[in-house]
Amino acid sequence: MFRFFAIRVLRAVLTVALVVTFAFIVLRLSGDPARSIMGDDASPEAMAAFRREWDLDQPLWMQYLHYFAAIFQGEFGRSMRGGGPALDLVLGRIPATLMLTLPALLMKLAIGIPAGIYAALHRDSAIDRAVMVTAVAGYTVPSFVLGLVLVQVLAIWFAWLPTGGTGSLQHLILPIITLGVGGAAVLARFVRSAMLEVLGQPYIRTASAKGIPWAAVVRGHALPNAAIPTVTIVGFMVGNLIAGSVVVESVFSWPGVGNLLVVSVTARDLAVVQCILLLVAVAMVLSNLIVDFLYGFLDPRLAEANSSGGH
């Protein structure tokens, strides 16, 4: 068990390091921050001074070493646009993002899990087909398309809700629905598949043959076993709380981390972009790590198999 957890922690650290390295290299090879921030009208001398100020005139490998050394010292750089600490700028946007993503996560769980369970228990029925058609539609429609449709119908045609921005609880409704629909659809399909796989197992038929009431079989055997693989996708959704809001925040002009990322990428504000990507990577890796730990406790056989086989 200890080896299982140790391997997962090591993989998590390596994953974060690889993500940060990849982001660092891509950002510096994809454009010149000096030209993006200062504009084409800036003189060559001003451009050169800007690059010296932000160490952009140094070799890439030296910039990389300085960046990693600063991270280990708790320094995440300064915004090239505002000059303030990048971490403070990012942390200041997190509450706004969580105001959307946490209710959206609850919406996904409240709709997706019951819908998937009900569809599995009524397989091939009209309700099952309706749930799956709705789930496929919710999954395939891009979030920005759904957001624009909701704005057109509910905000422009009927004028029931604001088109975007902040200021009241009404401003939260459309972004939360846009974020929640796709995730609920994914969760419903996944839970249905997990339930159908469990319901087809011999021990379910054996329990039913012994005369145990069907409701008790579902509660005592089907649901607990279907919950184990479902933990994976729920963990992914938790880790995706920040990254998943990028498009929706842009559509609804919501001042969260996702909106900040789009603005910072456009302006080539390297420190802010790197800080956000690091935060997203840590969130995703931590959620996956927690899922692995839960797997180890829920099914110790899995931990033993993974720690002894192939390592």
pLDDT on residue 310:
43
- The answer as to whether 253 is a domain residue is yes
Contact 287, 306 (CB under 8 A): no
Q: Which residues have a Cβ under 8 Å from the Cβ of 247 and sit 6 or more positions away?
A: 142, 143, 144, 147, 258
At residue 268, the 3 state secondary structure works out as coil
Contact 4, 306 (CB under 8 A): yes
CA 112 to chain centre: 17
- The answer as to whether 203 is a domain residue is yes
pLDDT on residue 89:
93
- The answer as to whether 188 is a domain residue is yes
Q: Which residues have a Cβ under 8 Å from the Cβ of 262 and sit 6 or more positions away?
A: 246, 249, 250
Residue 113 and residue 191: Cα distance in Å, rounded? 6
* Domain harbouring 300, CATH code: 1.10.3720.10
Q: Which residues have a Cβ under 8 Å from the Cβ of 119 and sit 6 or more positions away?
A: 127, 128, 131, 132, 188, 192
- The answer as to whether 133 is a domain residue is yes
Give how many domains the chain has, as a whole number. Answer: 1
**Residue 103 φ then ψ, to 5°:** -60, -35
Model confidence, pTM: 0.83
Tell me which residue range forms the domain holding 216. 86-309
Beta bridge partners of 215: none
- The answer as to whether 149 is a domain residue is yes
| Residue 293 identity (one-letter amino acid) | F
pLDDT on residue 311:
42
Residue 23: which H helix or E strand, with range?
Answer: helix 2-29
pLDDT on residue 283:
87
- The answer as to whether 104 is a domain residue is yes
- The answer as to whether 96 is a domain residue is yes
Residue 11 and residue 285: Cα distance in Å, rounded? 9
Rg (CA), the chain: 24
- The answer as to whether 218 is a domain residue is yes
Contact 275, 87 (CB under 8 A): yes
Low-confidence ranges of the chain (pLDDT < 50): 309-311
